[in-house]
Amino acid sequence: MHKRKLGNTGLEVSAIGLGCMGLSFGYGPAVEQQAGIALIRRAFELGVTFFDTAEAYGPGANEELLGAAVQPFRDQVVIATKFGFVDGVPTKGVDSRPETIRAVADASLKRLKTDHIDLFYQHRVDPDVPMEEVAGTVKRLIEEGKVRHFGLSEAGEQSIRRAHAVHPVAALQSEYSLWWREPEHKVFPTLDELGIGFVPFSPLGKGFLTGAIDKDTSFDSSDFRNVVPRFSEENRKANAGLVEVLGSIADGKGATRAQIAIAWLLAQKPSIAPIPGTTKISRLEENLGAAAISLSADDLTAIEAALAQITIVGERYPAHLQQRVDK
């Protein structure tokens, strides 16, 4: 698989990474440990060198799983993890106090069985802690060798600028896909100006863009999508047109919907590295096949024209979580 550089910091990753969250958290019961390890190692065999986790996924369980899986090839991969929630639990609120960042870094290093974190993201902006303090704390961790690169997640333009002024931000991780394109408006120009890479999470619309989810789909009781407005039965039905359009484009390229959705992301910028997640090796192999698909300017124009005829319905977060998205 081709490599990409995330911005101007020299951080090189596989063009497509692996979002590991769903192996332990968020989308129903956690996978059995050996199955999770097998999937992560298969990803590495197929060229993935970029693995994304967080203290909050479990909490801690996902980092432990990833740490165990990559032990045989730790120095050949980039591990990204995150800090920023009270006790590592998103529902408890945000906490990016310097002492918390340091404690999380040390705990993550132990769980990941490593001596350094390649990319350390602030999971969500903390309005009670100045961004300069956050960036300064991570900068000191970098100077100490515990962290290699600094990242932000779901941060807005001003937060990005304030952080970058203290220490170069290697990457911003935010939701971005064919059904959520908000970052294009203010965030992308800022990233281009400052030389910061972009890591789209949920590149397949939390599974919706694959075509495997319809109005009749039922989710496990522990699945996060149960509380996401965009995944209400009514909204899934309303958004089905996007899946149909994606299917017609995919058929024309001899590909799957998931592959077209990921290939579209790769075509947007050379410093974009999406991190689709899955619990199934067959889906992993399908997703990584997107790296071999080249979309021409005409293809991209056709996709743009088709999308212009569709209105996506439903918020991407419930109201109490929407408040945490930095503007």
Residues 69-121 have pLDDT tens digits of: 999 999 999 999 999 999 999 989 999 999 999 999 999 999 999 999 999 99
pTM of the model: 0.93
Q: Which residue, among 40, 25, 127, has the nearest Cα to 79 in the 3D structure?
A: 40
Q: Is 57 a catalytic residue?
A: yes
What tens digit of pLDDT does each residue of 265-296 get?
A: 999 999 999 999 999 999 999 999 999 999 98
Assign 53 to helix, strand or coil. coil
Res 9 pLDDT > 70: yes
**Residue whose tokens read 């399908």:** 286
Q: Sorting pLDDT into bands at 50, 70 and 90, what band is 28?
A: confident
DSSP state of 90: G
What tens digit of pLDDT does each residue of 199-252 get?
A: 999 998 888 888 888 778 888 887 778 888 787 888 788 788 788 888 888 998
Mean pLDDT, the chain, whole residue set: 92
State the CB neighbour count (10 A cutoff) for residue 47. 14
In this predicted structure, what is the pLDDT of residue 201?
94
Q: Which residue, among 320, 319, 327, has the nearest Cα to 94 in the 3D structure?
A: 320
What percent of the chain has a predicted confidence (pLDDT) above 90? 72
Active-site position among 27, 57, 121, 176 = 57
Diameter of the chain by CA atoms?
Answer: 53
Please check whether residue 88 is in contact with residue 59, taking contact to mean a CB–CB distance below 8 angstroms.
yes
In this predicted structure, what is the pLDDT of residue 221?
80
Output the six-digit token pair for 123: 């999971």
**Residue whose tokens read 């990941």:** 112
DSSP state of 201: E
Output the six-digit token pair for 254: 């001899």
Mean pLDDT of all residues in 6-32 = 93
How many Cα neighbours within 13 Å face the side chain of 306?
18
Topology annotation, domain 3-204+269-293 = TIM Barrel (3.20.20)
Mean pLDDT of all residues in 33-47 = 98
Please check whether residue 231 is in contact with residue 314, taking contact to mean a CB–CB distance below 8 angstroms.
yes
Distance between CA 274 and CA 198 in Å, rounded?
A: 8
Q: Which residue, among 307, 211, 217, 298, has the nearest Cα to 259 in the 3D structure?
A: 211
Pairing type for strands 169-175 and 197-201 reads: parallel
Distance between CA 267 and CA 176 in Å, rounded?
A: 13
State the CB neighbour count (10 A cutoff) for residue 234. 11
Distance between CA 62 and CA 36 in Å, rounded?
A: 9
**Residue whose tokens read 């024209």:** 305
Helices (H), 46-146: 61-70, 98-112, 131-143
State the CB neighbour count (10 A cutoff) for residue 223. 18
In this predicted structure, what is the pLDDT of residue 313?
80
Please check whether residue 273 is in contact with residue 244, taking contact to mean a CB–CB distance below 8 angstroms.
no
What percent of the chain has a predicted confidence (pLDDT) above 70? 97
